[in-house]
Structure 1
């Protein structure tokens, strides 16, 4: 019976992959993910636990990415959740949840889309759990954030940017020939 765990030391590269095998194929993946910053404020405790009115919830999020070198990028998903009642803020949660993404052989537009659409989509479930736990640990029922369509938002932002650029370009007087 053959040992399925052993691979040849020098597998024959697939000609479709080029001379370097899979080394020239586009690839991206998470190296690690982590909480970069977490702030939990419960400014009106213990009075806030006795309020009877339903607080209004405001959820804001932002995505940032930066190159940290050698094909590695840090993607930051920042989420701010504020629950306000008539008597004041019940709680404020600020989270910066990050992932280090290794990328190679990706076209600039593909890399940009991955960093601002796909990577945040993959980070979100973990950030959502951190927010739920933080709200619960502040003494309130866990906050389960609704899923976010990061790809839809990415394309919406891209279309808005192109429209602004086209508008700015149309407003510039043409140079005389």
Structure 2
């Protein structure tokens, strides 16, 4: 921190973030194992794909962040699908004080961190209610996810 002439420290702009709403935008759960009338003890192999999207809303300082999860579970021995869960979970945020050059990473790292515990609970409840042991998602490193997506986009961009 630097000091100005009167000895007072200059404060960084105060970041304010409020979650105005959060909701399930879309959800689908398909119990394939039950449809096939399969029985017995099956060892699952669970795959989770996460995609994030953020956009500015019409209201000033408001943004919508959507976390899209695609969870598939297959039997380890046979590779047969057991269930598919697709979930789009959205949050509407009021954000002020974030510099423009830091807004994109803020929306795709900090906002999903706040939404994740609710998404984890929904996934656990839906898998349990769907006839499977509750699936407790591992914590997602949203910073690493953001960096990976930036690297992927840079690799796709043709170099001149």
1:155 matched residue in structure 2: 147
Shift of 1:44: 3.3
Let me know the Cα RMSD of the aligned residues: 2.5
1:82 alignment counterpart = 72
Alignment equivalent of 1:43, drawn from 29, 32, 37: 32
- Out of 109, 114, 134, the residue aligned to residue 142 of structure 1 is 134
Residues 143-164 of structure 1 show CA distances to partners (whole Å, capped at 9, x for unaligned) of 0111111112223333454566
* TM-score under structure 2 length normalisation: 0.79
1:54 aligns with 2:46: no
**Does 2:12 match 1:32?**
no
Taking structure 1 as reference, are residues 156 and 83 closer, same or farther at Cα in structure 2, changes over 3 Å only? closer
Task: Pick from 60, 65, 79 the counterpart of residue 54 of structure 2.
Answer: 65
Give the aligned partner of residue 3 of structure 2. none
Question: 1:53 & 1:26 partners in 2: Cα distance?
Answer: 49
* Alignment gaps of 5+ in structure 2: 1-9
- Quote the Cα distance in structure 2 between the aligned partners of 1:160 and 1:82: 23
SS of 2:135 mapped into structure 1: coil
In the alignment of these two chains, the number of paired residues is: 148
Taking structure 1 as the reference length, the TM-score comes to 0.72
Give me the whole-angstrom Cα distance separating, in 2, the residues matched to 1:109 and 1:164: 22
Residue 38 (structure 1) shift: 1.3
Higher helix share: 1
Q: CA 1:81–1:156 in structure 2 vs 1: closer, same or farther (change >3 Å)?
A: closer
Do the aligned partners of residues 87 and 148 (structure 1) sit closer, same or farther apart at CA in structure 2, a change above 3 Å counting?
closer
